Amino acid sequence: MNLEQIFQTPNPIIGVVHLLPLPTSPRWGGSLQAVIDRAEQEVTALGSGGVDGVIVENFFDAPFTKNQVDPAVVSTMTIIVQRLMNLVPIPIGINILRNDAHSALAIATCVGAKFIRVNVLTGIMATDQGLIEGQAHTLLRYRRALGSDVKILADVLVKHGQPLESPNITIAVQETIERGLADGVILSGWGTGTPTNPQDLVLASAAAKGKPVFIGSGANWENISTLMQYADGVIVSSSLKRRGQIDQPIDPIRVSQFVEAVRSSVSAKQEQKPIV
């Protein structure tokens, strides 16, 4: 996966648009326009703040289905993602929770989105939705059948879940890339907003052998200089919200502060590299 080709930088910052509850979800408010308006405000705030990409996900649809979501969710997300792509010039990706990678890939392929996030691509994770099995064997075949070039970013030992076997970051990363054929991997803390363990990033970067490694949770302008020493990019949401509260909308000032912190940390990292 060539990050510069997709994001115009080797160290992309990917902001997340958490969609308000969608049709058929328990907290659906009955107004699609309200969902669209909030999503457009957030993607505009992220774009103007300087992020390099955006992931759109149905975050507020909890409790989530384990795999396939309702067709109304797919239809709604298709409409929204296409509208957002017309608002900002940066790459957009899709994550359909909890693990409907096939629908995400279908939407991305049809609207021209660049990537998807898959919570469980390989292995089996025990989650609050039950046991979720990896979908690599069907997802990669589906991508080939579609003739799609949408990239797959896969979580390794995804947050809000526990592996059935003893966790081993090195083996999990290797299998996600070599056997699951992920284009990049994501390392997170144990839950939403929980910082990624730097040591996990070190092990993941070594095991990835050149494939991109992303920070998946808990990044803020205070810890990003440490985390970015061991990662290629970052996916960020909670710390960009007003007052840092997950249910609040994106704060443009926080976006700018975070982007500046990442750029400074990347510059410092590059200056530390020995001259060969």
Q: Enumerate the domain spans of the chain.
A: 7-263
How far is residue 43 CA from its own chain's centroid? 14
Closest CA to 173 of 192, 196, 153, 147: 153
3-state secondary structure of 108: helix
In DSSP terms, 215 is beta-bridged to: 187, 234
3-state secondary structure of 96: coil
* Per-residue pLDDT at 276: 44
Specify the pTM. 0.94
How far is residue 99 CA from its own chain's centroid? 12
- State which fold the 7-263 domain adopts: TIM Barrel (3.20.20)
For 110-119, 159-168, 211-220, which range has the lowest pLDDT when averaged over its residues?
159-168
Percent of the chain with pLDDT over 90: 86
In the predicted model, what is the mean pLDDT of residues 56-78? 97
Question: Do 215 and 233 form a contact (C-beta atoms < 8 A)?
Answer: yes
